Amino acid sequence: MAHDPARSAAIAAELRARIIGGGLQPGDRIRQEEVAAEFGVSRIPIREALRILESSGLVTLVASTGAWVTELSLEECREIYLMRERLEPLLLSLAMPTHTQESIAEFDQLAEVVEQAASPGDFLEADREFHRAVMAVPGTLRLSETVDHLWNLSHYYRRRLLSPEVSRRREDIVAEHRMILRALELGDVDSAEAIMAAHIRHTRRLVEAHPEMFARDRNGEER
Amino acid sequence: MAHDPARSAAIAAELRARIIGGGLQPGDRIRQEEVAAEFGVSRIPIREALRILESSGLVTLVASTGAWVTELSLEECREIYLMRERLEPLLLSLAMPTHTQESIAEFDQLAEVVEQAASPGDFLEADREFHRAVMAVPGTLRLSETVDHLWNLSHYYRRRLLSPEVSRRREDIVAEHRMILRALELGDVDSAEAIMAAHIRHTRRLVEAHPEMFARDRNGEER
DNA sequence: CCGGGCGGAATTGGATCCAATGATTGTTCG
DNA sequence: CGAACAATCATTGGATCCAATTCCGCCCGG
């Protein structure tokens, strides 16, 4: 137990979970030694873990200076949503041929879970689960990874958004999920893509309406 | 000079250049100690460099086993082109508002360079330069990085493709570049996006017509 | 009173050394 | 004679130690 190989991957996963979960917030500095002490390892696997997280964009490394949880500007967040608007319809279109009556029934269940989520946290979790399931494709490693990274990057802001705006947007989201499911049932790829794009675009609009969540483009560090 | 901080980044850049340039080919194993000896450093910065390259997908790391230059299957390559078909039109649309008469004139020069490239290597280089220039946007870090990674990943196969198929496809590419420029002159975003997507789609079709370039999906290692 | 330059502490990056895992070869048994 | 097993070897992953850089506060000078 003293020497797990690839311990860095496990540490990266734990740190990622903390960032997604909100334990570590954008702008927070990550000191190698602190984390090393906490996990009871040396700084080497921490460095590797930070590089892994940097590669997905969750952490920003500055040479000889330090590591911070990536803080998005409004423009960057907008960019991420724009990418999602293009990539997720593609991923969905690739996933559709693999769907069956049974899998669509499961998606229906997942949509139900979203609708009945009690807390904002549950809602986000269920929403992500729904999207992940609907767009799951066995083969497409890079594409689904990329999409996953984009979700991770914007997760924090999605949660902040959900708190004040819960009621109205939730209904929209639920309705859009139902529309996506309907397109899946019909096997209508074009409609599914279009609705998915609109679904993401609507959330982007909401993000753009709340610029106060973001750092002023490159200044104003130290949350 | 003995201790450059962030030497790993420089090593990563050099290795990346070798992979792009063809010195290292997909499937080649990269042994940490070899590279370390060659650069006159310890294995630590090599490990970091390999992680950096892995993050962009150029290198595949297997825990406790080793590092290989990423070898794409036909399906993966197809996936990369599909992603490019969606992302590059987006990037182009973001770039267009920043274009001016002068910058478009420069693009014209670059298109000229592509047309008059002598060797396949020059052609690829010029083609990439053209695309990069046309889609250059000051702000969009993540998107242009992602697109850059996708180009890097498929560069090797693009070169292999160009050798046998030079004549015919070259004319098409040149013509499509001209069409893109025309759309830029007119400021017609929709056309520009559509042509760019078609441009990439055509190359994808060519890739799909040459499955013999690819490894059989996950076997047949050791080039 | 304010700004620039200097010095020390904190923190990161790299080198060397050691442990553990995976691959390969030789050996032995069915 | 082939196949499965075991031991050795090569290679990667981690720990400890050391050097270099950055950041902070402090002091001196204008």
The C-alpha atoms of residue B78 and residue B129 are separated, in whole angstroms, by 22
Judged by CB atoms closer than 8 Å, whether chains meet at A90 and B82 is answered as yes
Kindly state whether residues B133 and B28 are assigned to the same domain: no
A197 contacts chain B (CB < 8 A): no
Predicted local distance difference test score (pLDDT) of residue B6: 76
Q: CA(A9)–C1'(C25) in Å?
A: 32
Count interface pairs A-B at CB distance under 8 A.
Answer: 73
Kindly state whether residues B36 and B143 are assigned to the same domain: no
CATH number at residue A20: 1.10.10.10
Query: In what helix (H) or strand (E) does residue A60 lie, and over which residues does it extend?
Result: strand A59-62
Predicted local distance difference test score (pLDDT) of residue B105: 97
Last residue of a domain, one of B69, B98, B123: B69
Bases in strand D with any atom closer than 7 Å to a protein CB: 11-17, 19-23
Judged by C1' against the alpha carbon of B35, the nearest nucleotide is D11
At A139, is the secondary structure helix, strand, or coil?
A: coil
Chain B, 80 to 99: residues with Cβ < 8 Å from chain A are: 80, 82-83, 86-87, 89-90, 94
Kindly state whether residues A121 and A157 are assigned to the same domain: yes
B220 domain residue, yes or no: no
Written as tens digits, the pLDDT of chain B (223 aa) is 445 667 899 999 999 999 999 999 999 999 999 999 999 999 999 999 999 999 999 999 999 999 999 999 999 999 999 999 999 999 999 999 999 999 999 999 999 999 999 888 899 999 999 999 999 999 878 999 999 999 999 999 999 888 765 557 888 999 999 999 999 999 999 999 999 999 999 999 999 999 999 976 543 333 3
Closest partner CB to A142 (pick from B57, B64, B87): B57
Kindly state whether residues B110 and B23 are assigned to the same domain: no
Please report, to the nearest 10 degrees, the dihedral formed by the alpha carbons of residues A80, A82, A84, A86 taken in order.
-150
Q: CA(B71)–C1'(D5) in Å?
A: 34
In chain A (223 residues long), the average pLDDT of successive 10-residue segments reads: 72 96 95 96 96 96 95 96 98 97 97 93 94 93 96 94 73 95 98 98 94 68 36
Predicted local distance difference test score (pLDDT) of residue B164: 67
Predicted local distance difference test score (pLDDT) of residue B219: 39
Last residue of a domain, one of A40, A69, A98: A69
DSSP A65: T
B137 contacts chain A (CB < 8 A): no
B218 domain residue, yes or no: no
A205 domain residue, yes or no: yes
How many residues are present in chain B? 223
Kindly state whether residues B26 and B103 are assigned to the same domain: no
Predicted local distance difference test score (pLDDT) of residue B156: 94
Kindly state whether residues A61 and A88 are assigned to the same domain: no
The C-alpha atoms of residue B86 and residue B164 are separated, in whole angstroms, by 27
Q: In what order do the strands lie in the sheet with B59-62?
A: B29-30, B66-69, B59-62
CATH number at residue A183: 1.20.120.530
Residue nearest to nucleotide C21 (CA to C1'): B64
Closest partner CB to A5 (pick from B52, B63, B86): B63
Question: How close B113 comes to chain A (CA, Å)?
Answer: 31
A158 contacts chain B (CB < 8 A): no
Per-residue model confidence as pLDDT tens digits over A179-223: 999 999 999 999 999 999 999 999 999 999 999 999 765 433 333
Kindly state whether residues A128 and A34 are assigned to the same domain: no
Q: CA(B221)–C1'(C26) in Å?
A: 26
Q: Side-chain half-sphere of B188: how many Cα atoms within 13 Å?
A: 13
Predicted local distance difference test score (pLDDT) of residue A2: 45
The C-alpha atoms of residue B140 and residue A83 are separated, in whole angstroms, by 11
Predicted local distance difference test score (pLDDT) of residue B140: 79
CA distances A79 to B77, B139, B144, Å, are 25, 9, 10
Least Cα distance to A70 among A81, A85, A82, A55 occurs for A55
Kindly state whether residues B122 and B14 are assigned to the same domain: no
Q: Which residues does chain A have within 8 Å of residue B54's beta carbon, measured at their own beta carbons?
A: 55
Judged by CB atoms closer than 8 Å, whether chains meet at B83 and A55 is answered as no
Predicted local distance difference test score (pLDDT) of residue A6: 77
The C-alpha atoms of residue B80 and residue B54 are separated, in whole angstroms, by 16
Task: Spell out residues with C-beta < 7 A from strand D.
Answer: A 3-8, 41-45, 48, 64-65; B 2-3, 5, 30-33, 43-44, 47, 61, 63-67
Judged by C1' against the alpha carbon of B5, the nearest nucleotide is C13
Give me the number of domains chain A comprises. 2
Question: How close B151 comes to chain A (CA, Å)?
Answer: 13
Which residue range is the domain that position A36 belongs to?
7-69
Judged by CB atoms closer than 8 Å, whether chains meet at A9 and B51 is answered as no
A2 domain residue, yes or no: no
A47 contacts chain B (CB < 8 A): yes
Closest partner CB to A63 (pick from B6, B75, B83): B6
Q: Which residues does chain A have within 8 Å of residue B90's beta carbon, measured at their own beta carbons?
A: 82-83, 86
Kindly state whether residues B21 and B104 are assigned to the same domain: no
Kindly state whether residues A146 and A203 are assigned to the same domain: yes
Kindly state whether residues A42 and A85 are assigned to the same domain: no
A109 domain residue, yes or no: yes
Judged by C1' against the alpha carbon of A40, the nearest nucleotide is D15
Question: How close B169 comes to chain A (CA, Å)?
Answer: 26
Kindly state whether residues B106 and B166 are assigned to the same domain: yes
Q: Which residues does chain A have within 8 Å of residue B47's beta carbon, measured at their own beta carbons?
A: 48
A48 domain residue, yes or no: yes
Last residue of a domain, one of B25, B46, B69: B69
B138 domain residue, yes or no: yes
A223 domain residue, yes or no: no
Task: Spell out residues with C-beta < 7 A from strand C.
Answer: A 2-3, 5, 30-33, 43-44, 47, 61, 63-67; B 3-8, 41-45, 48, 64-65
User: Phi/psi zone of residue B26: left (φ > 0), alpha (ψ -120 to 50 degrees), beta?
Assistant: beta
